[in-house]
Amino acid sequence: MASEMLYPIMPIYLKTIGFSIVLIGILEGVAEAVAGLSKGYFGKLSDNSGKRVPFVQIGYTFSAISKPVVAFFIYPLWIFFARTIDRFGKGIRTGARDAILSDEATPETKGKVFGFQSICTMLASSLAGLIWYQFGASETFMVTGIATILILFYFVFWVRLKDGK
């Protein structure tokens, strides 16, 4: 959810700190490629190991660390590194998180569970735009970092799965 907060504002932010449109495209393309490739790999690894929560925890940890970094650095290499780490974290956690949602939902509630997750994602994107408009870039990145940390704490301290995975 917190990662989706950055989608609508990331190109605007990168442009304001001097990135060219081509560099923004390369950065986001590589970052999304990392996410896409790692989703398949870590999703399969999660399935094979039978563990879910550790992948979600590790993925959110990478994202929680990387989001605020983008707000503090303007050098393209650092931003590239931070965005790639954020997307790598998304790749690590997504398959396991979706498997948790699927495993914990009943056949009757599966659509509601994934629908609710999708609604939260859309609301987060809208919220980021409002935060950006009202407070600015640094604050938006800090809010997304805090949101990621809260999600991580949730998975560390409160998630207890039915089958103990």
Summarize pLDDT for 56-79 with one digit per residue, the tens: 989 988 988 887 787 788 788 899
Is residue 52 predicted with pLDDT exceeding 70? yes
CA distance linking residue 25 with residue 31, whole number of Å: 10
CA angle 90, 152, 3 (to 5 degrees): 35
Summarize pLDDT for 95-121 with one digit per residue, the tens: 999 998 888 888 899 888 888 888 887
CA distance linking residue 74 with residue 25, whole number of Å: 17
CB 45 within 8 A of CB 55: yes
Token pair 């050098």: residue: 75
- Provide the whole-model pTM: 0.82
The Cβ of residue 113 has, within 10 Å, a number of other Cβ atoms equal to 15
Q: What is the pLDDT of residue 160?
A: 63
Nearest to 5 by CA among 159, 157, 139, 165: 139
Structure tokens, 77: 């290499």
Summarize pLDDT for 122-133 with one digit per residue, the tens: 887 788 788 888
- Look at residue 159 and give its three-state secondary structure: coil
CA distance linking residue 144 with residue 63, whole number of Å: 9
- Look at residue 118 and give its three-state secondary structure: helix
The pLDDT-based confidence of 164 (bands split at 50, 70, 90) is low
Q: What is the pLDDT of residue 85?
A: 94
Q: Which helix (H) or strand (E) holds 21?
A: helix 21-49
**Comparison of pLDDT for 103 and 45, the residue scoring more:** 45
